[in-house]
């Protein structure tokens, strides 16, 4: 079996890949080759070099100033752009008018940290994706086809995000960012003989949806945006590394969860609780459907819709139902996504919180509005108390459907204790 690692391009979001690498090390997952585009090419070279500690140190301390500099006196500001522009295309449109970015800091970073001799001696396959201009031709380049001493140039060519970064000239040809051709070079790995691929994406939407369900592909990808293209805020980079670690562990079934991350949960232990929660949610949604039977359009199922969010659209198991219920509770309670939780303990804590709050004197529109104004946690406590007191009155269902996530979380707290 030949297993290859494939790394996505995405600027500062590349910190996520280093967290995934840490998980691979702990799991003992081994690769015979690694391929990358843009920032993925840089991380791929570090991976082939086999120096995780160096990669972690780079990504722990990296700043925007270690990637680019801007000409003095130029009104353009990276920090201003990053706070306003969150995606690559608007970023390019904004900066095509400036063309003032100097990538000498990136060159220095690459040349000081990439050891081509060590990589060649290590024997791991390595490939990067580039894009030749003006021919507009994708050029995959593997280590074995690179002239000795040219690896750093090919890495920099793969990351030459034109027009804000200049083209890279190699042997008389001009190259720019390989993401213009293939931002996740799975095909390059397959052409190299891989029969198993682990791909680390940097975006919630898959680059190659045509491969998403293939049995030879293990996909590690975030479920939420990882920040701006040049957003080198230290806290954001730390969060990205943690999420990369957690998502890689989940992809290899060593941790559980969708948006959040939990220590492994036993399916048999949580199935009865999941059935209770689903029964309560279905009764709620069915009542809304019945009351709106003459309405035009699809039937409403707000609680089930809230539960299914973040699951990817596949069929859910009872364990999935229970975990998503806990995630709804975690979201209402304001828990961070970049941590590993004991799901049962988190649910107990939410239950204790709800019962530590004073009950409302009456459950009516005014009580719901007051609790909602006080915040989702206050509303959660209000709804849990009412469920335990006998359930929601029929005339309140339409109003509560407007708080579907909190209402579903209340049912989880009430009925979901395993």
Instruction: Give ∠ CA 308-310-316 in degrees, rounded to 5.
Output: 45
pTM for the whole structure: 0.89
Q: Let me know: does 319 contact 396? Beta carbons within 8 Å.
A: no
Calculate the alpha carbon distances from 348 to 142, 150, 390, 403, 404 in Å.
Answer: 53, 57, 21, 22, 21
Average pLDDT over residues 57-63: 91
Predicted pLDDT at 297: 52
Predicted pLDDT at 365: 87
Q: What are phi and psi of 51, to 5 degrees?
A: -120, 80
Average pLDDT over residues 74-92: 43
Predicted pLDDT at 90: 52
Average pLDDT over residues 34-57: 96
Give the chain's mean pLDDT: 89
The number of beta carbons lying within 10 Å of the beta carbon of residue 195 is 11
Which residues is 220 bridged to in the sheet? 200
Euclidean distance between CA atoms 246 and 313, whole angstroms: 21
Euclidean distance between CA atoms 308 and 325, whole angstroms: 10
pLDDT-derived band of residue 360, with 50, 70 and 90 as boundaries? confident
Helix (H) or strand (E) holding 141: strand 137-142
- Residue 87 pLDDT > 50, yes or no? no
DSSP 197-220: EEEE-SSSS-S-GGGTT-TTEEEE
Euclidean distance between CA atoms 204 and 310, whole angstroms: 10
Average pLDDT over residues 197-206: 95
Q: What are phi and psi of 172, to 5 degrees?
A: 80, -5
pLDDT-derived band of residue 72, with 50, 70 and 90 as boundaries? very low
| Helix, coil or strand: residue 73 | coil
Euclidean distance between CA atoms 52 and 245, whole angstroms: 13
Strands 173-177 and 125-133: antiparallel
| Helix, coil or strand: residue 412 | helix
Predicted pLDDT at 204: 93
List the structure tokens of 145. Answer: 């086809």
pLDDT-derived band of residue 86, with 50, 70 and 90 as boundaries? very low
| Helix, coil or strand: residue 256 | strand
């Amino acid at each position: 079996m030949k297993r290859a690692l494939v790394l996505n391009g995405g600027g500062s979001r590349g910190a996520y890949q280093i967290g995934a690498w840490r998980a691979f090390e702990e799991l003992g997952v081994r690769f015979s080759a690694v391929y990358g585009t843009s920032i993925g090419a840089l991380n791929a070279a570090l991976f082939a070099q086999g120096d995780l500690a160096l990669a972690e140190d780079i990504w722990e301390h990296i700043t925007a100033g270690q990637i680019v500099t801007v000409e003095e006196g130029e009104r353009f500001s990276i920090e201003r752009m990053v706070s306003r522009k969150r995606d690559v295309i608007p970023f390019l449109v904004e900066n095509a008018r400036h063309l003032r970015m100097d990538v000498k800091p990136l060159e220095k970073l690459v040349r000081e940290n990439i050891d081509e001799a060590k990589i060649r001696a290590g024997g791991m396959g390595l490939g990067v994706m580039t894009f030749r201009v003006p021919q507009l031709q994708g050029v995959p380049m593997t280590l074995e086809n690179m002239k000795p001493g040219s690896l750093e140039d090919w890495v920099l060519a793969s990351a030459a995000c034109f027009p804000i970064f200049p083209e890279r000239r190699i042997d008389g040809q001009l190259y720019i960012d390989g993401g213009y051709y293939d931002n996740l070079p799975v095909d390059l790995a397959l052409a190299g003989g891989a029969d198993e691929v682990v791909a680390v994406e940097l975006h919630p939407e898959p680059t190659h949806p045509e491969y998403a369900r293939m049995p030879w592909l293990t996909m590690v990808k975030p479920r939420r945006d990882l920040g701006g293209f040049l957003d080198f805020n230290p806290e954001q980079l730390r969060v990205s590394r943690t999420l990369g670690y957690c998502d890689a562990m989940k992809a290899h079934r060593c941790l559980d969860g969708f948006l959040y991350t939990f220590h492994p949960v036993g399916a048999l232990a949580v199935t009865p609780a999941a059935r209770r929660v689903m029964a309560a949610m279905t009764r709620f949604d069915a009542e809304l459907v019945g009351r709106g039977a003459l309405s035009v359009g699809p039937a409403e199922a707000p609680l089930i819709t809230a539960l299914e969010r973040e699951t990817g659209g596949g069929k859910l198991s009872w364990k999935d139902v229970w975990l998503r219920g806990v995630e709804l509770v975690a979201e209402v309670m304001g828990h961070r996504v970049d941590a590993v939780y004991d799901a049962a303990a988190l649910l107990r804590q939410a239950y204790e919180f709800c019962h530590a709050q004073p009950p409302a004197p009456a459950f009516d529109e005014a009580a719901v509005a007051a609790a909602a104004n006080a915040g989702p946690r206050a509303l959660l406590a209000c709804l849990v108390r009412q469920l335990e007191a006998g359930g929601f009155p029929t005339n309140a269902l339409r109003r509560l459907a407007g708080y579907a996530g909190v209402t579903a979380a209340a049912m989880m707290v009430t009925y979901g204790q395993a």
